[in-house]
């Protein structure tokens, strides 16, 4: 255990990050999601050097482009290796990483992190149950790393296997869902929190927040009402500075997630701070595979199509690998319904992809609500 007791208290943090780090950081402006919209010309130019590019959803119609160089990827993989140590699965495990491995950076990075930790890795794309079963039968993994919704969706083919640990990430999971999954699978869940813009932290055996290393990722908490940074222990928007990636600097990035930082020593023995996550700053609807749509996008679409934001309700449910968005809205015409569906599909690249592959259906119901 001793190697994971990183000494990142205030004094050590200053030594790691440089004495003037926090003062310098506070002089820099906040960065928002729109700063990451894909700029194709710029990307082509930048491709002259050592880069890997991932496209991911943005709240605008343009995808975000996130690029890393080899050293960024190595640094992030090293950090995920530390996650494995915290979870107690560093070395000798066979890990099935059941995620999208092409469009989502988290899949390949999870694989590299486990390899760095001395585990064997089987990357498995989200294909048919038959295809996944065939691979799992052949390799008998001891750990599975996936999204909570995939543990639900594939429970019939996964839950009877003997997993030591279930690693989850990418989607919020409430206590009820966690308890249900741990019971079905008879294994402990360790959740990790991060964004495509940067991996943040992992749960310890106490499962009370995400431990993170301040030499890897520096977090600030911004007031929900102003640009002021609030003290430790207070809730606000999580602002992330990713210290592992340099090809595309992520500095003071406003994540849209809400949380607070705790610095009291956790009974697990780790001295690293913990991030307690509360959810999104604005309401977010989670669809499939970590793809989400925000309430504010829906409001903008209704405003654009109808000229005003009417009374409405949205519900999202997932059945047999298909996400359904139910939108109840008072008095709209068939052509307005069609327009709304079209606009929602264009919300971002990931939503568009779900529609294209028939994994997302819209049901617009007009009724008095």
Binding site for Zn ion (CB under 5 A): 204, 206, 266, 268, 270
Which CB atom, from 86 or from 247, has the smaller least distance to Zn ion? 86
Could you tell me the smallest distance in angstroms from the CB atom of residue 13 to Zn ion? 18
Which CB atom, from 222 or from 260, has the smaller least distance to Zn ion? 260
Could you tell me the smallest distance in angstroms from the CB atom of residue 264 to Zn ion? 10
Which CB atom, from 261 or from 270, has the smaller least distance to Zn ion? 270
Give the other-Cβ count within 10 Å of 319's Cβ.
Answer: 9
Which CB atom, from 122 or from 276, has the smaller least distance to Zn ion? 276
Could you tell me the smallest distance in angstroms from the CB atom of residue 269 to Zn ion? 7
Which CB atom, from 125 or from 188, has the smaller least distance to Zn ion? 188
Could you tell me the smallest distance in angstroms from the CB atom of residue 204 to Zn ion? 3
Which value, in Å, is the radius of gyration of the alpha carbons in the chain?
21
Which CB atom, from 136 or from 275, has the smaller least distance to Zn ion? 275
Could you tell me the smallest distance in angstroms from the CB atom of residue 179 to Zn ion? 20
Q: What span, in angstroms and rounded, lies between the C-alpha atoms of 216 and 13?
A: 11
What phi and psi, each to the nearest 5 degrees, are found at residue 326?
Answer: -100, 120
Could you tell me the smallest distance in angstroms from the CB atom of residue 268 to Zn ion? 3
């Amino acid at each position: 255990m001793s190697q994971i007791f990183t000494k990142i208290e205030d004094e050590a943090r200053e030594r790691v990050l440089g004495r003037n780090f926090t003062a310098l950081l506070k002089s820099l402006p906040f960065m928002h999601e729109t700063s990451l919209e894909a700029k194709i010309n710029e990307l082509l130019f930048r491709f002259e050097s050592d880069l890997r590019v991932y496209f991911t959803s943005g709240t605008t119609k343009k995808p975000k482009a996130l690029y890393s160089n080899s050293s960024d990827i190595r640094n992030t993989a090293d950090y995920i290796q530390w996650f494995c140590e915290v979870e107690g699965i560093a070395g000798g495990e066979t890990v099935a990483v059941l995620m999208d491995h092409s469009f989502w950076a988290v899949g390949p990075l999870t694989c590299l992190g486990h390899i760095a930790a001395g585990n064997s890795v089987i990357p498995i794309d989200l294909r048919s149950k038959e295809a996944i079963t065939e691979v799992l039968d052949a390799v008998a993994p001891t750990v599975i790393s996936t999204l909570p919704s995939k543990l639900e969706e594939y429970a019939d083919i996964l839950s009877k296997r003997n997993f030591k640990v279930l690693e989850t990430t990418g989607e919020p999971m409430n206590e009820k869902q966690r308890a249900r999954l741990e019971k079905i699978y008879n294994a402990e869940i360790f959740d990790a929190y991060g964004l495509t813009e940067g991996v943040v932290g992992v749960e310890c055996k106490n499962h009370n927040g995400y431990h993170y290393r301040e030499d890897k990722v520096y977090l600030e908490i911004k007031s929900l009402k102003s640009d002021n940074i609030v003290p430790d222990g207070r809730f606000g928007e999580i602002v992330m500075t990713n210290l592992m990636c340099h090809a595309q600097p992520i500095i003071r990035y406003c994540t849209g997630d809400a949380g607070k930082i705790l610095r009291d020593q956790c009974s697990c023995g780790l001295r690293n701070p913990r991030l307690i996550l509360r959810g999104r700053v604005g309401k977010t609807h989670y669809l499939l595979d970590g793809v989400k749509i925000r309430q504010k996008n829906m409001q903008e679409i209704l405003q654009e199509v109808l000229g005003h934001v009417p009374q409405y309700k949205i519900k999202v449910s997932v059945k047999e690998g298909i996400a359904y968005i139910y939108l109840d809205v008072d008095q709209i015409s068939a052509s307005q319904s069609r327009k709304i569906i079209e606009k929602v599909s264009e919300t971002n690249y990931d939503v568009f992809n779900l529609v294209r592959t028939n994994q997302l259906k819209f049901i617009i119901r007009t009724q008095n609500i």
